[in-house]
Structure 1
Amino acid sequence: MAVSARYFVRLKLRLLANGLRGRTQRVTLFVIGAVMAAAAAVSGYALFSVIGVLGEQRAAEVVFPLTGSAIVLGWLFLPLIIFGVDESLDPARFALLPLRHVTLVRGLFAASLVGVPAIATFAATLGMVHAAATLGGFFAATVELVGLTGGILLCAALSRAVTSAFATALRSRRSRDLATVALAGSAALLGPLQLGLRSAIERADWQGIGHVVDVLAWTPLGAPYSMGLDVAAGRLWAVPIKIVVVGATIALLLWWWSGSLEKAMLGAKSGSRERAASQRTPVDQLVPRWLPRNRFGALAGREMRYWWRETRRRATLISFVAVALFLPVLVAVSGGPAGASGAVLVFVAALAAVSLTNQFGFEGSAYAANVVAGVPGRVELAARATGLSVYVLPPLLVISVVASVVPGRGAAAPALIGTVLAAYGVALAVAMPISVRAAYALPDSTSPFAMSSGGGTAKGLLSFAALIGATIATAPLQIGAWLLGDVWLWIGLPVGIAYGAGAFVLGLRIAAPMLDDRMPELLATVSAGSQ
């Protein structure tokens, strides 16, 4: 008996109903999501309809392809970054069923159209049909409806093809970590993008934007959403061409999906990485090649993995990235005084280093391994600083260059980098003794924001003390930059590097003996939260 697509649709609905049955929290979240999707659909419909009611043909020719392209790209990237693989449509669930590829692709494709995102997207874009009817009559509305149908099919095919191709990778821990970082970076860019968008609107060359959109309307991204407008403008010859463009794109995506379906069903992925890993020694797998093969290298490699994998440390890095991206760009775009970017970057660099004010609290009782091994305090602290620096120094350097180039002060970039490195080194020097003398226990929790009773106040006070100390210690450099003027542009980078390195070495010499003397007491303090 032939299996039609309706069985897949019924299976999708049955799985959805079973997942909600008897689970109040899931039902609540589903209702909230449905309400938000309905609000977005109504808003989108109203926005597109108003353009037609006002009779703005050219505005519609700009807005419809542009918005449609954003919708298609959203269907491409959001499943990869946020939602992951839709398990109810996971091809691996059908691996043991005697189904042909054509049947499976057709059924999964139909089922992917039955869901809140697809329905909300299609409902929102129906406002384009209303606008096309107002601008070009019934025939234009009919053609626009055909285009929108092709658009939602294109979105679904693109989303399923990509998620099936990356189905195995999206389940891996590393890929989810990458998704977390990508999402954090996207969220951190919202503020600067708003400022940039406002500035771009004020200075926009609308004629040039119109030319870009005209080209976009002939691509698979914008073609489905501009067919009705072509009819309204008398360009009937363009409609069959765009139908071919959209149809061919959907066919290619379904062909790609069918080709990648077998690998997704088997959960297979390339074995080159496993073979490469098996050829490396255990030390090479744990310690990066650029680190020395000694205790320092082993500890630094471990810290690098901890900062990437441990939930609370990764949350700290994400918070730093958000602040580091937003504050300097905000100052640069807003046109603040020449020294404002430097002051803000000093704060950002110090903020990165104060993550180490409770570096031993992150480990808790696991720190006992280092105590038993008798790791020298100098090696311990230097390795921990190296592990953090691998992640925070590249963003600091990039942000320093951007904060100099955006306001047109590119010549000041080297000096600004020197100031930032000095502030980071000074903040590390301040944070290391604090982490040894004022450590506190953190609870064992998978939540990145979990904090023991009173821990939030302690963390705030320690971070504030480190920030104030780093700012005061970096003040001579900022005063020197103000007094020396253009001379500082030449000497700022080497002086800043030397100043930061000297401060770090001094802080290490102070904190290392303290750590050697207080290892048992420190272990007892940070282990309290896990007992």
Structure 2
Amino acid sequence: MVATVLKLRYRLLANTLARSPWQLVGFIFGMLGALWLLGAVVAGLVAVSILQGLDVIRAIAVVGGSALLLGWAFGPVIVSGSDGTVDGERLAPFPFSRRQLMVALTGTGLTGIPGIATTLAALSSIVLWVRWPAAAASALPMIAISVLTCVLVSRLITTLTTGFSGRRRGREIIGTIVIGLLIMTGPILTGVLGLLDAAGDLPARLGLAGTILGWTPIGAAWAVPGDVAAGAWLPALCKLAIAIGTLVALWFVWAWALQALTSSRPRRATKTVKSGALGLFGVMPTGGVGATWARSLTAWVRDPRYLRQLIFIPLFPALFAFTTGVDGVMFGASAVLVALILAVGGYADISYDGTAFASVLSSGVTGRADRWGRALAAASVGVPAIIVIAVAVAAISETWDRLPAVLGGALGLVLVGYGVSAVSSALVVVPVPRAGDSPFKTVPGQTFASGMLVFVVMGACLVLAAPALILAIIAMATASAPLGAVALLAGVIVGGAVIVGGVIVGGRVLDRSAPGLLQRIKAFPI
């Protein structure tokens, strides 16, 4: 049965690559990147085994293995998403026992590009122990345990974020929390390194980190060969027990999560409202602009796919406060970086409508009204958020003289972004997660080209907002308050002009392209 699942998985992959040349290009680049990374790892391990002593080798093995496990836990699902072609939900209708299902999913994890590259990299770590035959012999079973642990961790996290006992709200909350924690990885690592400063130079820090991680489930398996090489048999046995216990615990927890995912019914959330309660539709003006404004603003405040973009707002200042300090330039300009993220957030806004975009077409709303409504909804959230961030940063860093310049650059950039998005979203639709999907799930149909579109839109925003950005940079560099006021005025004027032009052009484009956009949305794989 496992062999059948693997054959079906690779048949699906081959068919997908045959249909989409750009996906084939992305797949080839992925393979080349894995090969390059594998070659670099092997070269580094060989150099370490020749040039370093046992203490450094033990530390590097444990720290590197721990980083590999954490990469499997969070890296693949954030960068590429989990494999949506073979998962527990899709295989649940078939007559698999739970053990067969888990073995099949583990096999698909081991035989993918990340699994193969990880296995080869882990096997190459044996070169670290060639001077100690007993350690090299013990490394083989520990490598098997380590690679299986990596795959099980990845599968467990994917199952939890996909299912969470069948509750959509739970998936959304977990996904948002995990993404926020990942964004804060930089400050966390900075704090850890600061604690290690007391240990002295780099080898001493590595040794301390390796010693600590070697007694945790994250690095225990990688610490066993080093203890064997040092003749520390009792610690080696203890860490072997930790590694095996971690693997067994992951298997049983994953079995529980998979059972919850495949056996429980999806729960529908229901809500009772008073008759005649229209929400934002009862507040906004009537007509096409008001209706689109209300519908889009409702999505911004309730749809997690939009809300996830807003978690960057408080995290950027916090990130730079930890890494560069409140007196740093990056902290002072964090409102501009937040504006850049929000500026490109709606570059393919219609994609989030899905097939419900048919209701927009049937309503008779003109393209220009649709463009104005979406831009006003985004601005209702983005502009106040940027102003609050800029004022808060200025208050914390006591740089009130820079506030007009920062506001000029940030508002100019985000307003220009709304204008550019008014045109780009009338031309482009891309596969996006469906409402309620895990944020880590691969979106079928995504290609290298669609992934590059966001950078094209970002470049257009930076070019069009250049007058305000240049004035803001000069004003902050020279601490010129009058020039900062000019930058603020330029940002509002340039941004407003781009929005007007974008709405006019985008509206005309949408009137012509709307049926084609709907047809392309319906053609996306589910």
TM-score by length of 1: 0.64
Higher RCO, 1 or 2 (CA under 8 Å, sep at least 6)? 2
Equivalent position SS for 1:117: helix
User: In structure 1, which of residues 115, 121, 129 is the aligned counterpart of residue 118 of structure 2?
Assistant: 121
Equivalent position SS for 1:420: helix
Contact 2:184 2:315 in 1 (8 A): yes
2:40 matched to 1:43? yes
Deviation at 1:109, TM superposition (A): 2.8
| 1:166 paired residue number | 161
Q: Residue 255 and residue 475 in structure 1: after superposition, are their counterparts in 2 closer, same or farther (change >3 A)?
A: closer
2:508 matched to 1:528? yes
For 1:522 and 1:44, how far apart are their aligned partners in 2? 48
Q: Residue 264 and residue 418 in structure 1: after superposition, are their counterparts in 2 closer, same or farther (change >3 A)?
A: farther
Deviation at 1:220, TM superposition (A): 1.4
Deviation at 1:75, TM superposition (A): 1.0
Structure with larger Rg: 1
User: In structure 2, which of residues 147, 154, 177 is the aligned counterpart of residue 152 of structure 1?
Assistant: 147
Contact 1:354 1:467 in 2 (8 A): no
Contact 2:156 2:254 in 1 (8 A): yes
Q: Residue 191 and residue 243 in structure 1: after superposition, are their counterparts in 2 closer, same or farther (change >3 A)?
A: closer
| 1:91 paired residue number | 88
Per-residue CA distance 1:240-271 (angstroms, 9 max, x = gap): 222211111111111111112233225745x4
Aligned counterparts, 1:27-426, within 5 A? 28-134=25-131, 136-137=132-133, 139-168=134-163, 205-206=201-202, 207-266=204-263, 268-269=265-266, 271=267, 274-275=268-269, 277-280=270-273, 294-295=283-284, 299=293, 302-303=296-297, 305=299, 332=324, 344=333, 385-389=379-383, 391-392=385-386, 396=390, 400=393, 413-416=396-399, 419-420=402-403, 423-424=406-407
| 2:428 paired residue number | 445
For 1:352 and 1:202, how far apart are their aligned partners in 2? 38
How many equivalent pairs are there? 466
Identity level (%): 19
For 2:198 and 2:272, how far apart are their aligned partners in 1? 57
For 2:138 and 2:231, how far apart are their aligned partners in 1? 13
For 1:380 and 1:55, how far apart are their aligned partners in 2? 60
Equivalent position SS for 1:87: coil
RMSD: 6.2
For 1:202 and 1:386, how far apart are their aligned partners in 2? 48
Amino acid in structure 1 at the alignment position of 2:55? R
Equivalent position SS for 2:427: coil
| 1:408 paired residue number | none
Amino acid in structure 1 at the alignment position of 2:87? D
For 1:76 and 1:432, how far apart are their aligned partners in 2? 37
Amino acid in structure 2 at the alignment position of 1:295? M
Contact 1:331 1:340 in 2 (8 A): no
Q: Residue 247 and residue 422 in structure 1: after superposition, are their counterparts in 2 closer, same or farther (change >3 A)?
A: same
Deviation at 1:385, TM superposition (A): 3.7
Deviation at 1:131, TM superposition (A): 1.5
| 1:463 paired residue number | 465
Deviation at 1:146, TM superposition (A): 1.4
Contact 2:187 2:319 in 1 (8 A): no
Consecutive unaligned residues in structure 1, runs of 5 or more: 1-6, 402-411, 483-495
Contact 2:343 2:416 in 1 (8 A): no
Amino acid in structure 2 at the alignment position of 1:464? A
Q: Residue 28 and residue 10 in structure 1: after superposition, are their counterparts in 2 closer, same or farther (change >3 A)?
A: farther
Consecutive unaligned residues in structure 2, runs of 5 or more: 354-359, 431-449, 513-526
Q: Residue 213 and residue 395 in structure 1: after superposition, are their counterparts in 2 closer, same or farther (change >3 A)?
A: farther
Equivalent position SS for 1:47: helix
Per-residue CA distance 1:169-219 (angstroms, 9 max, x = gap): 79989979997998799799889999x989x99996443552232021011
For 2:8 and 2:418, how far apart are their aligned partners in 1? 54
Contact 2:42 2:121 in 1 (8 A): yes
Q: Residue 86 and residue 238 in structure 1: after superposition, are their counterparts in 2 closer, same or farther (change >3 A)?
A: same
For 2:99 and 2:423, how far apart are their aligned partners in 1? 57
Q: Residue 218 and residue 522 in structure 1: after superposition, are their counterparts in 2 closer, same or farther (change >3 A)?
A: closer
Contact 1:431 1:466 in 2 (8 A): no
Contact 1:133 1:141 in 2 (8 A): yes
Amino acid in structure 2 at the alignment position of 1:84? G
TM-score by length of 2: 0.65
Per-residue CA distance 1:26-47 (angstroms, 9 max, x = gap): 5554444333323323322332
For 2:159 and 2:323, how far apart are their aligned partners in 1? 42
